């Protein structure tokens, strides 16, 4: 459903991502793991259109080429960025409502909001509270919930576990795994390689801007090189 | 100064401040959504007064021709941009919004002029002719440099103001105008006579502020404008187009500046270049309010109005000096209070 072919992203003249090709199939969770500075965030920024890129990108048969960020979002491509990018002065409820901004058919918005509240009861408790006053874990839940309000076909998550307590990380990954039931495809970028590979169907390893390894997640998790480099030597 | 004089000055100051408040709220709205400090807002207010005066005198105002020229330019630029981005499928929409709607507005105004319309209709016509100007200027001037620095946008904004003042002289001539009062009623409050016009100004400012509050808090479009102001990247990720949010902000801001122009025209003589001082004083009010808060801008602007009223009683020649001197302590206080602002932005 989503594919990148020979995608290169440059900052000025420096290539941050080089000739990357990857694909996500319908209903699949695909993860890109790699060390800090490998170009994982850059890759997602290019996928959503916030950064320009060379190469080919397609989503459900549409060439994403010159498509703006907003056009991609209208086609139900969604990014939860590393910085969350919440509307900090606005209430939790307003943040969630704005998640549905791109939907033309607004009849189901109320139902989707209730579903998000069911999934994250904490958000319902804090619906009147300003997003800026939430804890780190709650912010991540809000960022995820806001993305779900757009009824995404492909959800791209950038470091969803970053800066969160282990208990919250487990909760977030449980949620990510459960999104498969909604038919949402996921492209997950993570430094927490073990958690990401446990949740994913397929994985890519990105190092210094290039894909150096790929394969089914259950194989990668037992790969000796990856175990030494990313999985804490277990 | 007796208490009677102080009361009269205070009421006068509140009325002037209410007019500044409308322009100040518009300034904050545009700044937060687009990062442009739109200096020509005062000119938009003055142009509305001058347009209304021209309509009163049964002359078709030059602002009509300005809208036609701007609409043609904006359409041309939009078509070039669509061709360049390979988005020709959006052409009908562009033609409708940038050409058909502005031309229809001018056409309706021109035709209505033939039947010698009453004052209420002339007010609506003046507002209709004024509101497309700022959104069209946005498309022509600001959108191509939307990613530029705030300083670049401000410099262009100042240049645009001077261009509009020149056009104002061309369209309306050097004579000042004062339109007929919108009401001849008056009332007495605690021994002080308050004119109906003064009350109308304050009521209009309150009503528009209230409507704006409802718009921002209870409509999805209003919330999307707030979201763009709070976090531009975040709002784009929701599918909110900054350019569209900017156009809505310019439309709303122009409407508020237009209303303030209509309100001030029966009280003060308005010249082609009067807008600069109106805009600048509203800007001072907006700065007092921190440039991001609507209630702050409104309160700041009313404060500026009251200060100006008392200053003109003490020394008419120095009233502007006194008002603008207010900026110095306010800016010092603001800069001391926001030492960590850069770090907050980084976060």
Provide the ipTM: 0.92
Q: Specify the pairing of strand A54-59 against strand A62-63.
A: antiparallel
Does the pLDDT of residue B346 top 50, yes or no? no
Residues of B in contact with A70 (CB under 8 A): 236, 239-241
Q: How confident is the model at residue B340 (pLDDT cuts 50, 70, 90)?
A: low
Which residues of chain A approach chain B closer than 8 Å at the C-beta?
48, 50, 66, 68-70, 73-74, 78-79, 81, 85-90, 94, 97-99, 101-102, 146, 150
Tell me if B67 is assigned to some domain.
yes
State the CATH number of the domain containing residue B113.
Answer: 1.10.3470
* Per-residue pLDDT reduced to its tens digit, B298-320: 999 999 999 999 998 888 888 88
CA distances A76 to A72, A147, B220, B238, Å, are 7, 10, 19, 10
Q: Do B227 and A98 touch (CB under 8 A)?
A: yes
Q: Which fold has domain A2-76+152-229?
A: Rossmann fold (3.40.50)
Tens place of pLDDT per residue across chain A (234 aa): 899 999 999 888 888 999 999 999 999 999 999 888 889 999 999 999 999 899 999 999 888 887 889 999 999 999 999 999 999 989 999 999 999 999 988 888 999 999 999 999 999 999 999 999 999 889 999 999 999 999 999 999 999 988 888 888 888 888 888 888 888 999 999 888 888 998 999 999 999 999 999 999 999 888 888 888 777 654
Tell me if B344 is assigned to some domain.
no
- Distance from C-alpha of B317 to C-alpha of A58, rounded to nearest angstrom: 67
Reported in sequence order, the residue ranges of B221-268 that DSSP labels E, i.e. its strands, are none
pLDDT for the residue numbered A233: 53
Does the pLDDT of residue B343 top 60, yes or no? no
Does the pLDDT of residue B204 top 70, yes or no? yes
* Residue ranges per structural domain of chain A: 2-76+152-229, 88-151
Q: For B286-345, give the DSSP string.
A: HHHTTTT-HHHHHHHHHHHHHHHHHHHHH-GGGHHHHHHHTHHHHHHHHHHHTTTHHHHH
Angle, CA B218 vertex, CA B213 and CA B219 arms, to 5°: 105
- Probe site for chain A from B143, B218, B219, B234 (most A CB atoms < 10 A): B234
- What residues have CB less than 8 Å from A90, skipping those under 6 apart? A98, A130, A131, B223, B226, B227, B230
Tell me if B33 is assigned to some domain.
yes
Reported in sequence order, the residue ranges of B99-163 that DSSP labels E, i.e. its strands, are none
DSSP state of B181: P
Query: Which residues span the domain enclosing B180?
Result: 3-339
Q: How confident is the model at residue B344 (pLDDT cuts 50, 70, 90)?
A: very low
Tell me if B95 is assigned to some domain.
yes
Percent over 90 (pLDDT), chain B: 60
Closest to A138 measured CA to CA, from A202, A75, A88, A207: A88
Closest to B24 measured CA to CA, from B323, B328, B315, B284: B284
**Into how many domains does chain B fold?**
1
Q: Specify the pairing of strand B186-189 against strand A210-216.
A: unpaired
- What residues have CB less than 8 Å from B35, skipping those under 6 apart? B150, B153
Q: Do B240 and A87 touch (CB under 8 A)?
A: no
Name the average pLDDT for chain B. 89
pLDDT for the residue numbered B62: 92
Element (H, E) at A73: helix A69-74
Orientation of helix B119-130 relative to helix B242-264, angle to 10° = 140
What's the predicted TM-score (pTM) here? 0.87
């Amino acid at each position: 459903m989503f594919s990148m072919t020979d995608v290169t992203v440059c900052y000025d003249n420096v290539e941050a991502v080089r000739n990357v090709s990857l694909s996500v199939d319908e209903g699949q969770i695909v993860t890109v793991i790699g060390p800090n500075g490998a170009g994982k965030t850059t890759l997602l920024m290019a996928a959503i259109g916030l950064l320009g890129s060379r190469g080919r990108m397609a989503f459900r048969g549409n060439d994403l080429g010159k498509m703006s960020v907003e056009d991609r979002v209208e086609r139900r491509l969604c990014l939860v960025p590393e910085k969350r990018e919440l509307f900090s002065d606005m209430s939790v409820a307003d943040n969630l409502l704005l998640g549905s901004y791109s939907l033309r058919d607004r009849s189901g918005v109320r139902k989707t909001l209730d579903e998000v509240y069911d999934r994250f009861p904490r958000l319902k408790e804090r619906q009147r509270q300003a997003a800026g006053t939430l804890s780190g874990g709650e912010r991540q839940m809000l960022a995820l919930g806001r993305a779900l309000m757009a009824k995404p076909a492909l959800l791209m998550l950038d470091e969803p576990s970053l800066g969160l307590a282990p208990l919250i990380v487990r909760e977030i990954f449980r949620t990510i795994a459960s999104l498969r039931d909604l038919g949402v495809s996921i492209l997950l970028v993570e430094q927490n390689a073990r958690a990401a590979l446990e949740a994913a169907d397929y994985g890519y390893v990105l190092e210094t801007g290039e894909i150096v390894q790929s394969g089914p997640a259950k194989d990668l998790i037992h790969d000796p090189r990856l175990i030494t480099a990313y999985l804490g030597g277990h | 100064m007796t208490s009677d004089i102080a009361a009269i000055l205070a009421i006068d100051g509140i009325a002037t401040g209410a007019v500044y408040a409308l322009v100040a709220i518009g300034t904050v709205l545009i700044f937060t959504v687009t990062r442009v400090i739109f200096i020509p807002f005062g000119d938009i207010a003055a142009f509305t007064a001058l347009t209304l005066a021209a309509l009163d005198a049964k002359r078709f105002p030059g602002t009509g021709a300005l809208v036609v020229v701007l609409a043609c330019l904006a359409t041309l630029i939009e078509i070039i941009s669509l061709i360049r981005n390979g988005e020709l499928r959006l052409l009908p929409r562009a033609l409708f919004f940038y050409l058909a709607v502005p031309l229809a507005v001018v056409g309706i105004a021109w035709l209505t002029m033939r039947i010698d319309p009453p004052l209420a209709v002339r007010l609506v016509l003046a507002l209709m002719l004024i509101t497309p100007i700022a959104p069209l200027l946005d498309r022509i001037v600001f959108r191509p440099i939307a990613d530029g620095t705030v300083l670049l946008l401000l410099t262009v904004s100042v240049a645009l103001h001077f261009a509009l003042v020149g056009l104002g002289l061309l369209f309306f001539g050097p004579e000042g105008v004062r339109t007929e009062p919108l009401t001849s009623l008056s009332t007495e409050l605690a021994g002080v006579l308050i004119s109906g016009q003064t009350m109308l100004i304050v009521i209009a400012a309150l009503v528009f502020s209230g409507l704006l509050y409802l718009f921002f808090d209870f409509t999805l479009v209003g919330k999307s404008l707030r979201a763009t102001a709070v976090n531009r990247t975040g709002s784009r990720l929701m599918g909110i187009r900054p350019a569209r949010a900017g156009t809505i902000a310019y439309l709303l801001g122009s409407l508020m500046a237009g209303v303030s122009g209509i309100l001030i025209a029966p009280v003060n003589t308005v010249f082609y270049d009067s807008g600069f001082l109106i805009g600048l004083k509203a800007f001072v009010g907006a700065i007092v309010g921190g440039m991001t808060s609507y209630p702050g801008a409104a309160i700041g602007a009313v404060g500026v109005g009251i200060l100006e009223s008392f200053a003109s009683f003490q020394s008419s020649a120095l009233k502007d000096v006194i008002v603008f001197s207010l900026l110095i302590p306010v800016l010092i206080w603001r800069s001391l209070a926001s030492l960590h602002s850069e770090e907050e932005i980084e976060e």
